[in-house]
Structure 1
Amino acid sequence: MYLYALQRPSIFAPAWLRILLCAALCIMLASCGFRLKGVAPLPFDTLYTNISENSEFGANLRRAITASSPNTRFVGSSSEAQAVLTQLSNKQFLRELSLDPQGRVEEYELNLQFTFQLTDAKGRLALPPTTLFVTREIPYDATVVQAKQSEITTVFKDMRKSLIDRIVRHLSAPDVVEAFANPANLPMAEEPPSGAPAQEPETPTPWSQPGLMPGMGLE
């Protein structure tokens, strides 16, 4: 019995130490502003966007916003919405990065360029026109066209997912929350949001766009 009593502290000490370390870590993370990815309610309950819900990009964007802010629902017209997310520009293009001694492309740079704005129900800018860029590099081999076509399509798809995450973070940013809380001094948008759905550009490839020039944008 005496030996058991002596051994008990050594058995339970590591557990207490782990608890203390976890508590200290939580305090440190909280003090530096760390927040786990999860629900981030948006400062509006209804949202309209001109990004087509029939496109992969539009459908994934809607799912991401709903997952982040379950109380926010999409409506069919800007007149019904407390906020309007307007796609101003959406470009996907390729740029030549390197050539082999014979002048053939060895590596391409894939680019997404997306510009959008967020307005309130009265057309005031809660988030002014903002351009986001996503870039990836990919090696190219003209002898395996089909494989490269599939790879480029997959990479652009992953880039659009990254772009959607960034859009959602912008919508839930503190300055957007503040803008909807105090809208009186917000500037008016230069142009009213268009009701026409914005279409997603086709994925560019060197073989499907024979006239493609380096750095050329595709609407």
Structure 2
Amino acid sequence: MAGSATRSASRVPDRRRLLAGFASIGSAALLAGCGFQLRRSAALPFRTLYVGFAPTSAIGAEFRRRVRVAADTELVDDPKKAEARLEVLLEQREREIVAFSSTGRAREYQLRLRFQFRVVDAKGEVLLPPTELVLSRDITSSDVEIVSKQQEEELLYREMEGDLVQQLLRRLAAIDRPA
């Protein structure tokens, strides 16, 4: 009798696993059937693109990485060989005090990432006029946790750079090319 109770108890977890597996497969089939897809990087309307980022630009490095991985656009080193040029007009990090403590020390900062660019074709005609993207994040300050706050600040800037690259790719993908 004890043996049959053990066998039936061991079947219950097997049934649960089986039902969970069918539920997972069913959910995946429903999502695929309705056309759901994860967001992909936008396809750029250029076969070749020259990007005018500074060699040490973190935004430039992330942009190049994402274009190489996801886009059918080839990045070229010579602007004369490019179908279009992304000209970087401004890339700037800013840090502004927005609140003080009762002792007069900075308590809260606003971090900003400001980026200006334009896109021109091989003939120098403007495809996208000068455009500015500005991202900001707030961060509190603490005299006790100086090192961790510096790390948090750097992490927030990296996060903003990634967001900015996504916005930049979407703007470039939306450029309407004349026939």
| TM-score interval, normalised by the smaller of the two chains | 0.7 to 0.9
Task: Give the drift of 1:52.
Answer: 3.1
Check if 1:42 corresponds to 2:39: no
Alignment correspondent of 2:14: none
Output the amino acid matched with 1:26.
Answer: C
Output the amino acid matched with 2:126.
Answer: L
Question: Which structure is higher in RCO with an 8 Å CA cutoff and minimum separation 6?
Answer: 1
**Identity rate, percent:** 32
Distance verdict in 2 for CA 1:46–1:157, change over 3 Å: same
Alignment correspondent of 1:59: 61
Secondary structure of 1:48's partner? strand
CA distance in 2, matches of 1:141, 1:114: 29
Normalized against structure 2, the TM-score is what?
0.76
Alignment correspondent of 1:201: none
Alignment correspondent of 2:34: 26
CA distance in 1, matches of 2:113, 2:58: 15
Secondary structure of 1:102's partner? coil
More strand by proportion, 1 or 2? Answer: 2
Alignment correspondent of 1:74: 75
CA distance in 2, matches of 1:138, 1:54: 25
* Consecutive unaligned residues in structure 2, runs of 5 or more: 1-22
Secondary structure of 1:146's partner? helix
1:39–1:67 CA contact under 8 A, matched in 2: no
Alignment correspondent of 2:178: 181
Q: How many residues align?
A: 155
CA deviations on 1:134-164 (whole Å, 9 max, x unpaired) are 0100110123222221111111111111111
Alignment correspondent of 1:217: none
Task: Give the drift of 1:53.
Answer: 4.5
RMSD: 2.4
Alignment correspondent of 2:157: 156
Normalized against structure 1, the TM-score is what?
0.63
2:58–2:161 CA contact under 8 A, matched in 1: no
CA distance in 1, matches of 2:41, 2:97: 40
Alignment correspondent of 1:115: 116
More helix by proportion, 1 or 2? Answer: 2
